[in-house]
Amino acid sequence: ILAGPHDILKLYNPQGNIINISPQLSPNSPHCCYKLEVVAADCNSELLGTELAVALGFDLSSMEKRLQSLEKKILTEAGETPAIVHEMKSQVESFREKLENVEHLSWLGLFKDLSEATNKPSPFYHKRTLRKTREECEHVKEKFLQMSSLEVSEDVRQYLKTPTFDNWQWEDAEIMVLLQVMYADLDFISAFNIEPEVLQQFLYEVYQRYNNIPFHNFKHCFCVTQMMYGLIWLTDIRSKLDSIDLLTMLTSAVCHDLDHTGYNNAYQINARTELALRYNDISPLENHHCAVAFEILEKNECNIFRNLTIEQYKRIREGIIKCILATDMLRHNEILNKFKSILPEFDFSNKDHKDLMMIMIKVSDISNEARPMDVAEPWLDCLLQEFFNQSDMEKLEGLPVTPFMDRDKVTKPSSQTGFIRFVLFPLFIELANLFPCLEQHIIDPVRKALDYYTEMEKALETEKQNRTQSDKTGKSDILSVVTGTVPLETLRVKCLAQGHDGSKWDLNL
């Protein structure tokens, strides 16, 4: 392969995946051959310039000079440069910067040092370390302990029981106070003899073990728990299940994403991470969340279950594991179909029908679209950031790219319309069949969300079609002048006919 010192290369493994160019690569062999390609080259190279001239039918350097000359003539005669020219130059410059900036070259397979390090900056949250720092945690803990004895107003307590609660208005220390309120208002503290200082230490440890990532962070933990708490009150399920089941459900929500690093199970398995190896590719994340939860509870000062009987603890442990493992979306259809099959004869007293707890946490886990749009939409932005960071890393490491996470293929509305239709609605509707009161609280808002993103999708598609048509027309005229098939005077007259309005040229050139 011919490549110069300034050329950019990408490397493929025998399976056709882009891989990292690094000193750690396994040696090439006749049975395992790498494929190397030049994806960006030094255009000043005489050999390359000759090859391109032959391939394109004209010489790039002479065309560049002609373009500069034409631009000067248009500026002199028309009085200003057409907007389409500005746009094209901007696109070229943007692409040039992308090629020259290593931070944006993961898709080209350039080498990056992926070795582990203490407090290694997260690749998807550049300004903060993945793990919380000691200073960050101690600051939040101090604020939490100062607030923990304060009396929360009745208005806030009632607001906390609704799906419309706005998490963005609350800091982490305040969120821990609200979680404490939930345990108190459901009578868990008195019923299970949970000491206040133990509950506070448990919540603080939980806070510490949620990472600084865009979506699966401590605020997400709170949102899921708050929705679970709201559902418990809205459905009056307290009169149908005993307290130990409710404690299981709420604590499962608190712990359900502990130590999530921002990469889903598909990535864990394809990248052969430590978690995937430890759990044999079976729900590696969810198994890890469970393990971290009980690691926290093993500390006596954090064990909110330490005054339970052995039988009570065993029942809660089984329930928490069952609930957290149910949040693996790979099991979504299995769990939903089983619930649908027992729904016609559902019996709250039937132990085999306790799958309701799994449905409740699944609904809570993906319930953002049931919230007001000004609360829900920022969460979607966070989720897409995490998704795009994962797909970037998959491209960088030569792994299969998760389709719904690919920033080059996914838009905000397209990510939601299918998810709402085929995942949210079927799940939410079945729970509403058991609890009709939920129709107005979670079904109606999700319908509005679907309408919102459907309209957004249509608007984006229309804008894309208009831009494509405009670009085709404009670039065709410019290219005609560049190649000499249309006189410059014709283009100048066309511009003048539009009243020297740059925005009109942008649409009609």
Residues tagged in the binding site annotation for AMP: 216-220, 257, 365, 416
Annotated binding residues, written as ranges, equal 216-220, 256-257, 365, 416
Strand 8-12 to 18-19 pairing: antiparallel
**How far is Cα 315 from Cα 294, in angstroms, rounded to an integer?**
14
Angle, alpha carbons 230-233-238 (nearest 5°): 135
Of the candidates 246, 257, 263, the residue with the CA atom closest to the CA atom of residue 223? 257
DSSP structure class, residue 348: T
Secondary structure (3-state) at 288? helix
Q: How many helices (H) and strands (E) does the chain have?
A: 23, 3
CB-CB contact of 274 with 268 (8 Å): no
Q: Look up residue 209 and give its two tokens.
A: 């073990």
Query: Of these residues, 216, 260, 288, 289, which one is catalytic?
Result: 216
Name the DSSP letter for residue 308.
S
Is 353 in the active site? no
For the record, the structure tokens of 14 come out as 């025998």
SS3 content of the chain, % helix, strand, coil (to 5): 65, 5, 30
Q: How many CB atoms lie within 10 A of CB 334?
A: 11
Which residue's structure tokens are 């009150």? 233
Judge whether 379 and 166 are in contact, CB under 8 Å.
no
Residue 487 exposed, middle or buried by CB count within 10 Å (0-12, 13-18, 19+): exposed
* Residue among 186, 79, 93, 207 nearest 139 (CA): 207
Shortest CA distance to 493 belongs to which of 74, 68, 72? 74
Residues recorded for the chain:
509
Q: How many CB atoms lie within 10 A of CB 254?
A: 23
Instruction: Specify binding-site residues for Zn(2+).
Output: 220, 256-257, 365
User: Which residues carry out catalysis?
Assistant: 216
